[in-house]
Amino acid sequence: MLGSHLAGLRGGLETALLLGLLAVWLVRDGRGDRSRALWRGAVAGAGAVLALGAVLEFGPRELTPTAWRVLGGVPSVAAAVCVALAVLRPSGVRPGFAAATAFLVVAREGLATAVFVWATVSAARDGAGSAGPLGMVLLGLAVAALLGWAVHAGVRRLSPRRSAAWAGGALLVVAAGVLAQGVREWEDVVAPGGGWAGRAFDLGGAVSPERWPGALLEGAFGVRPDPSVLQVAVWVLFLVPAFVLAPAPVGFGRSLPVGVEEQKRTDARAGGGAGPGAGPQAARRGGGGGGADPGGERVRDGARRAGGGTDGHDG
């Protein structure tokens, strides 16, 4: 029973976290169309994997282990790339891209989970087992959904800048694990069991995926207790440049790039109070109380505050 519960938890947790964080990240500038597209893509992905899982479970043919690994690796790599692009260029994300990303996020882990769900349904229907395993799988999925919602709600309670920064950083960490999992699937096709360069380490005794801590670790971050050297290399080579190019959590990276619409509103406020025809220098002079560093952030903040309260007078 516990194994069925943990299987549902592992299968749903990473998906729930990615969807919850994407919902914060993509709509932070008020783009509700992205949010609707995101959830439409997630629903479409769930329907697709349930349908395909039923075909594989009740149909006349089964996928070979090699086909399973290849099929698992493709959406994993594609989902990681889409999430990274959404974080690196959020202003360029269109609703269709958001829907496709959600579809891949659900599809990458959802197919194996759907087949497992249908297998428990088939066993209960044929009398070969009880409905207990199915209930435990669904309970695991429900716990995963609840944890994803809790993370989403917790990040949204932060200030807009902090919530976007933490959501972006967490998305990159989870996407790195998804990418490493996809590489592991493909690697096992070429070099089953040991990987091309062997295992980097094995912590199976300490964080076994058959126990709660290991299941949470693998479900949330895609971290297995016995990663290969290639997996670790891919994880590092993906995550380090991504954190350089995109904002890290507040205090650990450069400031978060502002969305296009938000930047337009900020520029309008900064220039609106400097008077008609006034240039950038006049706008800077309007914020004399904002700070002493002529090129620093405090002066720009002072200019924005002055733009909203000088009633059109320069200085």
Distances (CA, A) of 118 to 6, 51, 52, 53, 111: 16, 10, 10, 7, 11
215 within a domain of the structure (yes/no): yes
With respect to residue 266, please indicate whether it lies within any of the assigned structural domains. Answer: no
Q: Is residue 250 part of a domain?
A: no
3-state secondary structure of 228: strand
Has residue 254 been placed in a domain? no
- Answer yes or no: do 295 and 181 share one domain: no
Structural contact between residues 259 and 217, judged by C-beta atoms closer than 8 angstroms? no
* Residues 193, 233, 204, 14, CA torsion sign: negative
CB distance 287 to 305 below 8 Å: yes
pLDDT digits (tens, 9 = 90+) for 257-300: 444 445 555 555 555 544 444 444 444 444 444 444 444 444 34
pTM of the model: 0.71
Whether 17 and 86 map to the same domain: the answer is yes
Q: Are residues 56 and 188 in the same domain?
A: yes
Task: Give the closest residue to 12 by CA, choosing from 145, 127, 131.
Answer: 145
Q: Are residues 160 and 280 in the same domain?
A: no
Query: Does a structural domain hold residue 181?
Result: yes
- Give the model's pLDDT for residue 309: 43
Instruction: Say which residues have a Cβ less than 8 Å from residue 303's Cβ, sequence separation at least 6.
Output: 270, 274, 283, 284, 286, 287, 290
Residue 298 inside a domain? The answer is yes
User: CA 315 to CA 288: how far, in whole Å?
Assistant: 8
Q: What is the DSSP letter of 214?
A: H
Q: Are residues 198 and 114 in the same domain?
A: yes
Q: Do 279 and 138 fall within a single domain?
A: no
Note whether 137 and 231 are same-domain residues.
yes
pLDDT of residue 187: 83
Is 235 within the bounds of a domain?
yes
Is there a single domain that holds both residue 287 and residue 146? no
pLDDT of residue 151: 92
Q: Assess if residue 265 is contained within a domain.
A: no
Q: Is the domain of 219 the same as that of 116?
A: yes
Residue with tokens 């075909």: 55
pLDDT in tens, the chain (315 residues): 677 778 888 888 989 999 999 998 887 766 778 889 999 999 999 999 999 988 988 888 778 888 888 888 888 999 999 999 998 888 788 999 999 999 999 998 888 888 888 888 887 776 655 667 788 888 989 999 999 999 999 998 988 888 888 888 899 999 999 998 888 888 877 776 656 667 777 776 677 777 777 777 787 777 777 888 888 899 999 999 998 887 544 334 444 444 444 555 555 555 554 444 444 444 444 444 444 444 444 434 444 444 444 444 443
Do 226 and 288 lie in one domain? The reply is no
Query: Does 195 share its domain with 282?
Result: no
Are 196 and 113 found together in one domain? yes
Helix axes 2-26, 65-88, angle to 10 degrees: 30
Domain count for the chain: 2
* pLDDT 10s digits, 216-272: 778 777 777 788 888 889 999 999 999 888 754 433 444 444 444 455 555 555 555
How many Cβ atoms are within 10 Å of 292's Cβ, its own excluded? 8
Task: Identify the domain containing residue 240 by its residue range.
Answer: 2-245
